[in-house]
Structure 1
């Protein structure tokens, strides 16, 4: 379904809207309980924060929609990430380098999921092979949207194929892919269109697992309290990641 673009925004769907409404109620409770915020308090990370059941339902409302026909659902859904962006995003965290903050501000913190930065030098390793990324908006706020680079999944996947060529999948996590990743990312910036993906409750956004994506800064002239999205990233076996 994601095709050559590497992403798809599904039309409004009543089943998705019901799930989003239930998830929003739970999200308000989660935010009220506090939790870690980053980037000067302008981003609630919310990993595994939503209390959905292993079947994906929340508050008794099933996780369902037209997107289901285009993915292989996991046996058990993990607790969804609750990603909440607040006005002023991104501010610079104490200890965050100027270069890192500038990349977040000017390049939307563009990344491929599952390649975790490790150690003081932030070297990238494949630690969390995801099958797909499913985004479900919980409110209609359009500020600070998801950003993707159209077609970037092909460039990134080609680079990873080369990086892991001849290496048993069980060893892929030991391979430092930092330079390969950064080189491919530069190629994406030079050749792929940057797209701001705007969607509302009732819609679903499906991303190829290798697509380069991030979050746009909150515009200074846009008022609002926050923007909330739930994300599912089911993990798969590392040998299936490519």
Structure 2
């Protein structure tokens, strides 16, 4: 399972009682964040998506209040896989509701079509910025760790990934930036290369739906193309909630670009 991570770019680790204990501990705070007036701006897509960046009030160990740290056999595997376990930031609390997606505030018709038909597929850390919608490497995450907080129907806005896409995306960016001074890498506009690599991914890589339950975790390579599918009419449930951690590479952008 772990040995194939370098080829697939993702893995799902099996049930871990320590992870479930952590979920039970943080769930009240995660639910409270959804109704916190200070975080109301994170409701988008006509209230079908709570983006929830930094919404969980956890400490650097992942603990909320007097609750347990985010630890267990699954975390030991992640730590060994990446050879590091950086201090944790406040987790994103990503919540989708029936009917997702509706258009985001200010989203163009084309962008909404991409969200609807391509699951808003993206590589984390390359956010489009400004009216030109240009992309730069501005958030060099070490990996993406998803911890389901609620059980949900398999068709209730699940995570989708393009298996093996991290190889294509990573190589395209390295080819562009290999001659750039490390201090200037984050200044380079990668929009065109990113878009071309993404087209290759859609053509060459299998699209896979990933479903996990509380007590399980998912781990994504930092270059993996991924997104969220719609929540179709008639699919039961009231919400799908996942906590995401994206600790930054200790070596910054240089480590983010490295092939591993």
TM-score by length of 1: 0.96
> Does 1:68 find its partner at 2:76?
yes
Q: Secondary structure at the match of 1:148?
A: strand
Contact 2:12 2:218 in 1 (8 A): yes
Instruction: Name 2:254's counterpart in structure 1.
Output: 239
Aligned residue runs from structure 1 range 1-242, under 5 A: 1=2, 2-34=5-37, 35-36=40-41, 37-59=43-65, 60-65=67-72, 66-69=74-77, 70-71=81-82, 72-74=84-86, 76-142=87-153, 143-236=156-249, 237-242=252-257
Q: How many pairs are equivalent?
A: 241
Residue 94 of structure 2 contacts residue 244 of structure 2 at CA under 8 Å; is this kept in 1? Answer: yes
SS in 1 for 2:114: helix
Query: Using the alignment, how far apart are the partners of 1:167 and 1:187 within structure 2?
Result: 24
1:96-140 Cα shifts (integer Å, max 9, x gaps): 110000000000000000012111021011100000000000001
**Contact 1:67 1:206 (8 Å CA) reproduced:** no
Q: CA RMSD in A?
A: 1.1
* Contact map agreement 1:88 1:220 (CA 8 A) in 2: yes
In structure 1, C-alpha distance between the alignment counterparts of 2:191 and 2:226, rounded to whole Å: 17
* Cα pair 2:44 2:105 within 8 Å, conserved: no
TM-score computed with the length of structure 2 as normaliser = 0.90
Q: Would you say the 8 A contact 1:10–1:67 is kept in 2?
A: no
Mapped contact 1:86–1:218 kept (Cα < 8 A): yes
Shift of the alpha carbon at 1:61? 1.2
SS of residue paired to 2:147 = strand
Where do 5+ consecutive residues of structure 1 fail to align? none
